[in-house]
Structure 1
Amino acid sequence: MSQEQLPQVVLRARKAFQTGRSKTPAYRIQQLKNLQRFITEKQKDITHALKKDLHKSENGTQLYEILGLEGEINLAISKLSQWMAPRPVTKNLLTISDVVYIQPEPLGVVLIIGAWNYPITVTLQPLVGAIAAGNAVVVKPSEVSAHTAKVLELLPLYLDSEMYPVVTGGVPETQELLKQRFDHIFYTGSSVVGKVVMEAAARHLTPVTLELGGKSPCFIDGDCDLRVACRRITWGKFVNCGQTCISPDYILCEPSIQDKVVEEIRKCIKEFYTDDPKTFIDYGRIINQRHFKRVMALIEGSTVAIGGENDESQCYIAPTVLRDVSADSKVMQEEIFGPVLPIIPVKGVNEAIQFIREREKPLALYVFSYSNKVIKQMISETSSGALVANDCLVHYSISDLPFGGVGNSGMGRYHGKYTFDQLSHLRSCLLKKLGMEFVNGMRYPPHTAEKLRWARLLLCRQVNLGRVRHLAQVAAFALLAAFVVQRFWR
């Protein structure tokens, strides 16, 4: 597809949306089932593509790309009628007889720009919510994971091809898409590109969801089971060869436990990936040589405690741990996004918190401690997209937790109902009858002190109507209305 054709692709999606066919639950559910069929029928193609792009194993692809996505689809199908339904709200006495609710409605045409590190799940999970919300969607997979992008080109064979086109290509195609008017842009990737996306969206006043990243800290308290902590950190850091936006970017711990942390991580690397991770089926590769060189450059000037072995021809970097790292070292100047884990000695939780607060707000923050006091202090005195105590990454698997960043790590949220709401307009609706005009006497001029007293009573008193109390409250309102009539209309 040429760049010149892209405006027509967006226009065709908008015209398809304007037919109104995506308004019905039946249409949305059918498209979600078609998406599930795509995943099932193209599973071998997906597995082979991810093997070529990132050296992911078949079981690893299932675990980290497919299972969560299938869960999101099943959840959306089962909850769609509930998500789409009007949502009642608490009323005040002045609107007690009115129909007041929130009606979710589609935004229109959404652009989803996927990422290369988990190119199936981070591209298709937002699509699930966008379909459920009734939007048309232009899907732009990352060109960096080229083999997976080719598989995603097959999506229109399963979905409504006018409503859900797929655009492949590189930076020129993305730039051309960003010139078009969308009703929402959902981008997953780096903060640098996130700023470009937001700037382009501003030209059309288009809202954005930016799922970015940053340097997610991991504080290990001296009061901690180091064996268990390091086991979970090792898994969280080196899965997908460290190319995970919420992986622990660096460790903060007291100097007295640094040697123990290094040794425990060494044991875990051997247990998880054998003595030779390069030949192990479940250890990945850096996506390309550009990123390989970038990660290797970050190691320069730091002390390697574990690993460091590499092979540029295979984009292989061994699980690597750096010790006694300083705040101004190269590896601390940007998100690592690779299998390199620096350890920065700090004197305790207070210094760790100060270190974290002096930097951009991270996408995730991890704290390992037996002490609830330490955990609560970390929660109350820091800010991050998410905080997880005594584990890593697992919050991503919970659909009822909103996933997203804060500050430099992103804006907006998704997963489960949060994706549906993020990609919907939550329309406020109030339906009033033309009768009972006498109730409005207090709002019309002249504005007297007595009218103000009644307005304060009727506007500031919240009423949550339950079925059992409905008749009694309506009766009470009728009496109140009669009194108002006598005061203001006699």
Structure 2
Amino acid sequence: MAGTDAEWAAKLAKINKSKAVFKSGVTRSWEWREQQLKQFVKFLDNEKETIRDAITADLGRPHLEFTIEWMNMKNAVNFMLKNGKSLMKDEKVSGGMMNMTNSLFRHPEPLGTVLIMGAWNYPFDQGSKFWPKVDCESAGCTAIVKPSEVAKASSKVIFDVLPKYLNSDAFPVFVEGPEGATRMLKERYDLIFFTGGTKIGKIVYKAAAEHLTPCILELGGQNPCWVDEGYDLNLAAKRILFGKVINSGQICISPNYLLCTKATRERLVPELKKIFKEFYPEGPKISDCYSGKMVTERHYKRLVGLLEKTKGKIVHGGNFDEKTCYIEPTVVVDVTMDDILMEEELFGPILPIVTVDNFDDALEKVHSLEKPLAAYCFAHDKKIINRWVTEVSSGGMCINDTIMHISPETLPFGGIGESGIGAYHGKTSFQTFSHYKSVMDVGTPQFLLKKRSAPYSNDPANSAQFEWLLKQ
């Protein structure tokens, strides 16, 4: 809740303090940025168990999945510790013969104070608070950090523990519900970084427009996955289910639906069932490799409602437990594009299979929906792969696997259209939180510039000379 006017005044003072820290110029040195990044490493190392306990309380995530999340955070910090100083250097550019005596360069300067609004599904990882926050620090910005109040245990750790390690004046933390978030959005920032659903993303974008504040919106979408008839379906099943069940399907780059021909589907479904058995020999509910816990009762009921209303046929799973907000990995066939399962991003462990006539039919169905955050293709045929890459517009893409394209720091991560605006990761992150100022240091002697000034000569030879120089 936003609280009383007095409480909000105190919070506003913290926001203004963060802005004042940036305006003081202290964040522009690499030494200050490096110190904050090293403190963040201490936070990750010293509070590893605390972070894991919080994620377990919120999402019941298996230990290995937590380890991956934790290492992703470490890798993001280490990348910036290794490369941040060099990224701060001016980038020299060429200006042709007209500028052969001048120095031209792009000077990266931090944007300022950033509002980072995180999501609940990965409260300590990419697309939420800490990955963009690390990038924000490395670029020399200060940040107002608002974790999602939905992940209660995680947001409490961020609020209570993180300020003990970082400069709390530069990086204040606010745990706010919708009312408080709305109030925060009325303030002016130099950038807003939001991770969440498209509906809320549009609200954030509209609020930012009042101050002409640029936004990075990491949203989501209905991520398609084509399975070609010539591909190893056992391998495809393993890699599809890996991407579908991680974090119990509560991940923005999870495959949202499969596309394949009827003949392929008849062979694929048995392989999916077989892999489920391999993944969870005693069943997913008692396995320590699968949580199945939806983050809140509201999220649980939404997904159960979809399963109850779909006109498709459940061929695997379909079990759920209201007491623990548990949903079993579920495969649904005979799903049409107008089915309730295809109305929006599922964000859960439900996998619809849409049967198509051929690859062209699959592309047509993909194009009938908004541009997704991710798209997947399992095929050996290079022509099929090339067409998928060139004809399917998506934020990112992975061929013959799922979700792994998010890992390399060298690949920018972001959406397109309804799935988001802007990108980050690695060098792209530094660029996202920086303004590249174009600078020209003129060293040309005045006698060489005389002819550009009035009174202009009407001599055709003079015009021809300028025309030649401008072409170079």
Tell me whether 417-426 or 269-278 shows the greater mean CA deviation.
269-278
| Residues matched between the structures, number | 460
Q: Letter of the aligned partner of 1:74 in structure 2?
A: N
Tell me the residue number matched to 1:8: 13
Identity of aligned residues (%): 37
Q: Per the alignment, in what secondary structure is the counterpart of residue 240 of structure 1?
A: helix
Q: 1:218 aligns with which of 214, 219, 225?
A: 225
1:226-245 equivalences in 2 (<5 Å)? 226-245=233-252
Kept in 2, the 8 Å contact 1:442–1:452? The answer is: no
Residue in 1 aligned with 2:142?
A: 136
Q: What do the CA deviations read for 1:209-241 (whole angstroms, capped 9, x no partner)?
A: 000000000000111111111110010011100
**Contact 1:189–1:213 (8 Å) recurs in 2:** yes
Judge which range, 271-280 or 169-178, deviates more: 271-280
In 1, distance between residues paired with 2:55 and 2:182?
A: 26
What's the TM-score, normalizing by structure 2?
A: 0.95
Structure 1 segments of 4 or more deviating over 6 A? none
Query: Match for 2:468 among 440, 450, 457?
Result: 457
Letter in 2 for 1:372: K
The residue aligned with 1:206 is 213
1:74 corresponds to which of 78, 82, 86: 78
Question: Which amino acid counterpart does residue 106 of structure 2 have in structure 1?
Answer: I
Per the TM alignment, residue 36 of structure 1 is displaced from its structure 2 partner at its CA by: 0.9
2:367 alignment partner, one of 353, 357, 367: 357
Alignment counterpart, residue 191 of structure 1, candidates 173, 179, 198? 198
- Residue 122 of structure 2 aligns to a residue whose secondary structure is coil
Q: Which amino acid aligns with 2:286?
A: T
Match of 1:119 among 117, 123, 134: 123
1:453 partner amino acid: A
2:423 partner SS: coil
The residue correspondences of 1:28-177 to structure 2 (distance < 5 A) are 28-63=33-68, 65-121=69-125, 122-153=128-159, 154-177=161-184
8 Å CA contact 1:365–1:384 kept in 2: the answer is: yes
Q: For the structure 1 residues 161 and 437, does the alpha-carbon distance in structure 2 shift closer, same or farther, using more than 3 Å as the test?
A: farther
Corresponding residue of 1:269: 276
TM-score, normalised to structure 1, is 0.92
Which secondary structure does the structure 1 equivalent of 2:176 belong to?
A: coil
Q: Is 1:178 aligned with 2:185?
A: yes
Q: What residue in structure 2 maps to residue 378 of structure 1?
A: 388
Q: Is the 8 A contact 1:217 1:248 kept in 2?
A: yes
Deviation at 1:273, TM superposition (A): 2.5
Q: Is the 8 A contact 2:451 2:457 kept in 1?
A: no
Mean Cα deviation higher: 203-212 or 445-454: 445-454
* Separation (CA, whole Å) in 2 of partners of 1:335 and 1:269: 23
Contact 2:65 2:246 in 1 (8 A): no
Matched, 1:388 2:404: no
Distance 2:35 2:50 in 1: 23
Q: CA–CA distance in 1 between the matches of 2:250 and 2:382?
A: 31
Residue 253 of structure 1 and its aligned partner are, at CA, apart by 0.1
For residue 125 of structure 1, what is the amino acid of its counterpart?
Answer: W
Aligned residue number for residue 486 of structure 1: none
CA offsets, 1:160-217, max 9 Å, x none?
1110111112112211110110000000000000000000100110000000000000
2:352 to 334, 342, 359: 342
Q: Does the 8 Å CA contact 1:442/1:451 hold for their aligned counterparts?
A: no
The answer (yes or no) to whether the contact 2:103–2:443 under 8 Å persists in 1 is no
The 8 Å contact of residues 47 and 57 in structure 1, kept in 2 or not, is answered as: no
Q: Aligned to 2:354, what secondary structure does the other structure show?
A: strand
2:32 counterpart of 1:27: yes
Residue 450 of structure 1 deviates from its aligned partner by: 3.5
Q: Quickly say closer, same or farther: Cα 1:441–1:329, change in 2 above 3 A.
A: same
Instruction: Report the CA distance shift for 1:443/1:58 in structure 2 as closer, same or farther (over 3 A).
Output: farther
> Is residue 420 of structure 2 the alignment partner of residue 398 of structure 1?
no
Contact 2:273 2:316 in 1 (8 A): yes
Give 3-state SS (helix, strand or coil) of 2:221's partner: coil
**2: CA distance between counterparts of 1:346 and 1:440?**
70
CA contact (8 A) 2:243 2:402 kept: yes
Given that 1:73 and 1:128 are in contact with CA atoms closer than 8 Å, whether structure 2 keeps it comes out as yes
Identify the match of residue 255 of structure 2 among 225, 248, 254. 248
After superposition, what is the alpha-carbon deviation per residue over 1:299-334, rounded to whole angstroms, capped at 9, x for unaligned? 223210110000011010000000010110000001
Q: Please give the alpha-carbon distance, in whole angstroms, between the structure 1 residues aligned to 2:133 and 2:238.
A: 34
In the alignment, is the contact (CA less than 8 A) between 1:443 and 1:451 conserved in 2? no
Q: Distance in 1 between matches of 2:241 and 2:425?
A: 25
Runs (5+) with no aligned partner, structure 2: none
Distance 1:229 1:447, change over 3 A: farther
Distance 2:342 2:115 in 1: 33
Instruction: Compute the displacement of 1:442 (Å).
Output: 4.1
In the alignment, the residues of structure 2 paired with residue 434 and residue 311 of structure 1 have an alpha-carbon distance, to the nearest angstrom, of 76
Task: Select between 271-280 and 372-381 the one with higher mean Cα deviation.
Answer: 271-280
Hey, what's the Cα distance between the residues in 2 that align with 1:145 and 1:388?
Answer: 29
Structure 1 unaligned blocks of 5 or more: 462-490
8 A Cα contact 2:335 2:352, kept in partner: yes
**d(CA) in 2 for partners of 1:290, 1:440:** 73
